[in-house]
Amino acid sequence: MDLYLPIAGLSVNILVIIGLGGLVGLLSGMFGVGGGFLTTPLMIFCGIPPAVAVASSAPQITGASVSGVLAHGSRGGVDYHMGAVLVAGGALGSLLGGFLFRLLQDVGQIDTVVNIMYVVMLGGIGTVMARESIHALIGEWRGDRPKAGGKRHHPLIAMLPFRWRFYSSGLYISPLAPLILGFATGVMTVLMGVGGGFILVPAMIYMLGMSARVVVGTSLFQILFVTAASTLIHAMTTRAVDLVLTGLLLVGSVSGAQIGARMAQTVKPEYLRLALAFIVLVVAIRMLLGLTWRPPEIFTVQLL
Amino acid sequence: MRKLFLLLIAPLLIGAESPRLVPDVSQRKIEIIYSFTGAELLLFGAILYPGGTAPSDDAQIAVVVKGPSEPVLIREKRKIAGMWINADSADFRSVPSFYALASSKPIARIVDPRTAVIYELGIDNLQLSPASGGDPAEDRRFETGLIDLKRRGGYYSETDSGVEISEGVLYRARIAIPARVPVGRYTAETFLIEKGRVIAAATRDIEIDKSGMEAFVAQAAERHGFLYGLFAVCLSLALGWLASTIFKRLRE
């Protein structure tokens, strides 16, 4: 079953795209990541032009996060207070991201810079997460009791001024920390075509020390707003958002996200984190190889 | 049948000095709709000889379908510090977005090289107009890279025996248009070639355009970016909410 995509300018198999959306939605619901770091490369692999892939994955992530936010929100799994601070930072960050994108595009180095960012961030975060979750699992097998209470947010964050109380997260920290975190993910959303969940979730757990119960929901809440803003920016500047492609991806991903959110409740969080770390590391290694191997195309064409 | 045909067109030929071509295409307008997976164009026509008889010399036909030309920037990757990074680049002012050539015999054997360059017959004879004004050898390298990319993408093709000529007067050729071609005004050119030279040529225009819902979406994205973006966001929010409601019902 082939369908023509009006903006991408080619026809694709409907089932392949819906399947792709479903897979990414599943990850989104389970781990609280948008899945953009998988959708964008996979769509490019299917032959969709990179600009269209990046722009059309943004509204797809929005849709997948809605069902996730609603699913988590109904269980009290979203800290709206914390989320608002993150969104404010994200909005500022996406403005800077848009500026950087233009600059790098003009000198022709956008692909390389984005690839290096992927390798460094995914590699670093994947390693930290894998180590942490393996330690937790080993500790459990030995029968150690998990360290009770004692929020251990990073000492640097404890030094920041003007502390606020974030009741749902169980935190008393400076709002500057989530603001900076939101800002960083905002830059990445525009530059890399990702929601930023894969950096947000670990940062919330290991740096802010947020209560695990609200991490996934709050991360999805921030992703929802930042990807919606990013869709608007793309629709007005690159004009590369393909509604048909987005619609197909959405059908798969919103259902996947629901199933993923249910599955997340039945699996131990340590296993979830280990699985996410594994996926993140695989993508990072693939990207690293992509940078150093001789690429299939030495030449690339850009319309003037 | 052939005699009848020649008899009918005989009045057209009176006073004509050199042969003429009467070409046509199966479709003057190709509409891209949701189920578009490519199209096949049939290019056909007749060769009209003065006096109504085909000369003994064997005449050959070449047909070329060309898409709108566009300026492009091409970049070349090089290994720098262990990574493949875009290094050099070159501009070309007129690169046809699509080029398909079909001929009755291999094109290099039926035209002399100079004629081939003049009429841009053959992929290697396309005039891409490098704009860098740099080293010709370097321009050549970029040109080779660009053509190779276009050829493997299915945008450029050459078929040695794509044209059938029957009884020296009627010809036909099929040219496949892949699904991912850009829209715009295409030209279908037919060349009558004798003794290495082009002795008659004729052109027909073909319009390739999006139609129906596809055209509407493409225009909306182009003209009303903000509303289009807003619609995309609303669509994603609505679908997300819908899925969440349906799954909640299913669980109860």
User: What pLDDT, in 10s, does the model give residues B13-49?
Assistant: 444 467 888 888 888 888 888 778 888 999 999 988 8
Q: Is residue A286 part of a domain?
A: yes
Q: Which of B73, B177, B236, B249 would best serve as a mutation to test chain A binding (most A beta carbons within 10 A)?
A: B236
**Domain residue limits at A192:** 2-292
Q: Is residue A149 part of a domain?
A: yes
Q: Kindly state whether residues B193 and B218 are assigned to the same domain.
A: no
Q: Is residue A301 part of a domain?
A: no
Question: What is the structure's pLDDT at B12?
Answer: 52
A138 to chain B, closest Cα gap in Å:
35
Which one-letter amino acid corresponds to residue B222? Answer: E
* C-alpha A290 chain-centroid distance: 21
Q: Kindly state whether residues B234 and B152 are assigned to the same domain.
A: no
- Mean pLDDT on B53-74: 85
Residue B199's domain is classified under what CATH number?
A: 2.60.40.1930
Would the pLDDT of B66 be above 90? Answer: yes
A102 to chain B, closest Cα gap in Å:
16
Question: What is the structure's pLDDT at A149?
Answer: 46
Q: What are the distances in angstroms from CA A72 to CA A260, A271, B239?
A: 11, 19, 17
B:192-211 residues touching chain A, CB 8 A cutoff? 210
Of the pLDDT bands very low, low, confident and very high (cuts 50, 70, 90), residue B240 is confident
Question: Could B221 and A236 be called an inter-chain contact, meaning their C-beta atoms sit closer than 8 Å?
Answer: no
Q: Is residue A155 part of a domain?
A: yes
- Residue B173 has a CB neighbour count (10 Å cut-off) of 27
Q: Looking at the 3D structure of chain A, how many domains does it have?
A: 1
Structure tokens, A244: 């048909």
Q: Kindly state whether residues B77 and B142 are assigned to the same domain.
A: yes
Question: What is the structure's pLDDT at B56?
Answer: 61
Task: With CA atoms as reference, report the closest residue to B134 among B70, B69, B78, B76.
Answer: B76
Q: What are the distances in angstroms from CA B248 to CA A28, A64, A67, A71, B189?
A: 18, 15, 10, 9, 61
Q: Is residue A27 part of a domain?
A: yes
Structure tokens, B4: 């009848």
DSSP H/E element including B89 = strand B83-96
Q: Looking at the 3D structure of chain B, how many domains does it have?
A: 2
Structure tokens, A67: 């069902």
8 A C-beta contact, residue A101 and residue A110: yes
Which one-letter amino acid corresponds to residue B128? Answer: L
8 A C-beta contact, residue B212 and residue B34: yes
The complex scores an ipTM of: 0.80
* pLDDT tens sequence across B113-166: 899 999 999 888 888 888 866 788 888 888 899 999 899 888 999 988 889 988
Q: What are the distances in angstroms from CA B215 to CA B31, B32, B67?
A: 10, 8, 19
Q: In residues, how long is chain B? A: 252
Structure tokens, A231: 């869709």
Q: Is residue A105 part of a domain?
A: yes
- Mean pLDDT on B196-225: 86
DSSP secondary structure string for all residues of A122-163: HHHHHHHHHHHHHHHHHHHHTTPPPPPS-----HHHHH-SS-
- Mean pLDDT on A22-43: 78
* pLDDT tens sequence across A42-98: 787 777 887 788 788 888 888 878 877 887 887 777 888 888 888 999 888 888 887
Last residue of a domain, one of B209, B224, B241: B209
Q: Is residue A214 part of a domain?
A: yes
B163 to chain A, closest Cα gap in Å:
28
Q: What are phi and psi of A203, to 5 degrees?
A: -65, -40
- Residue B170's SS3 state is strand
Would the pLDDT of B243 be above 50? Answer: yes
Q: Is residue A304 part of a domain?
A: no
- Tell me the C-alpha distance between A252 and A239, whole Å: 24
Q: What are the distances in angstroms from CA B240 to CA A49, A72, A190, B248?
A: 26, 13, 22, 12
Q: Kindly state whether residues B189 and B233 are assigned to the same domain.
A: no
Q: Kindly state whether residues B63 and B30 are assigned to the same domain.
A: yes
* pLDDT tens sequence across B84-124: 888 888 888 889 999 999 999 898 888 998 999 999 998 88
Q: Kindly state whether residues B183 and B252 are assigned to the same domain.
A: no
Question: What is the structure's pLDDT at A144?
Answer: 63
Structure tokens, B122: 């053959």
- Mean pLDDT on B237-249: 85
**Domain residue limits at B45:** 2-209
Q: Kindly state whether residues B203 and B220 are assigned to the same domain.
A: no
Q: Kindly state whether residues B62 and B93 are assigned to the same domain.
A: yes
Q: Kindly state whether residues B164 and B252 are assigned to the same domain.
A: no
Would the pLDDT of A148 be above 50? Answer: no
